[in-house]
């Protein structure tokens, strides 16, 4: 009789170990996926900015310019008590707003001033290289969308695909009116 109890205890213990390993595996997968998503979004924004600077360099080469200056004025919507001094508290939200405004200004400026639209293939190359530099080997594709998420242009047909296999970055606005966005698609095996 004691042998039967020991077997049942062993079976229950084995089932408990398998369940714990399953839970651990699922949580590890989720954490890894979230980390890759966070990193890929941050790198995608950096890649989009680098692509804009590449367009500026290309424009300079095409037109023989050595230097160029672009001026953009920001307007902060805030209640101003004393118009002589305006203090803006530095918070993560403020920093994010300023970074986003500068990013949009550069993207819009290059498109409007230099009449050069985003090169999705160049953006793919820069983005893939940046991902590879942090140890994420993946096939990438990028697309330009409207405010509803409809794909307007894509670097490859994969940019229009949906599914668990593909990780999409958050939409990155490139127009001040928030009518155009860039998005990266990463095919990575986790």
The CB-based long-range contact list for 172-177 (8 Å cut-off, 24+ gap) reads 172/44, 172/45, 172/48, 172/103, 173/100, 173/104, 174/48, 174/104, 174/107, 174/108, 174/111, 174/118, 174/144, 175/104, 175/107, 175/108, 176/104, 176/105, 176/108
Q: pTM of the predicted model, to two decimals? A: 0.75
* Residue whose structure tokens are 């980390």: 35
Band the pLDDT of 46: cuts 50, 70, 90: very high
Query: pLDDT tens, 88-147?
Result: 677 888 888 888 888 998 899 888 888 889 999 999 999 999 999 998 888 899 999 999
**Contact between residue 180 and residue 148 where contact means Cβ atoms under 8 Å apart:** no
Query: pLDDT tens, 87-101?
Result: 667 788 888 888 888
């Amino acid at each position: 009789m004691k042998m039967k109890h020991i077997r049942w205890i062993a079976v229950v213990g084995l089932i408990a170990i398998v369940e714990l390993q399953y839970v651990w595996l699922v949580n590890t997968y989720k954490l890894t996926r979230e980390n890759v998503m966070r990193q890929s979004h941050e790198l995608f924004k950096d890649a989009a900015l680098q692509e804009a600077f590449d367009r500026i360099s290309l424009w300079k080469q095409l037109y023989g310019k050595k230097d160029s200056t672009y001026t953009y004025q920001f307007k902060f919507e805030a209640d101003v008590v004393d118009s002589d001094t305006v203090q803006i508290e530095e918070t993560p939200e403020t920093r994010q707003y300023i970074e986003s405004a500068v990013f949009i200004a550069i993207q819009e400026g290059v498109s409007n001033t230099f009449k050069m639209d985003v090169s999705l293939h160049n953006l793919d190359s820069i983005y893939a290289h940046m991902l590879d530099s942090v140890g994420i080997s993946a096939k990438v594709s990028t697309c330009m969308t409207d405010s509803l998420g409809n794909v307007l242009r894509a670097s490859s047909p994969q940019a229009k695909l949906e599914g668990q296999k593909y990780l999409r970055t958050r939409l990155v606005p490139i127009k001040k009116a928030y009518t155009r966005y860039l998005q990266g698609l990463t095919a990575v095996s986790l």
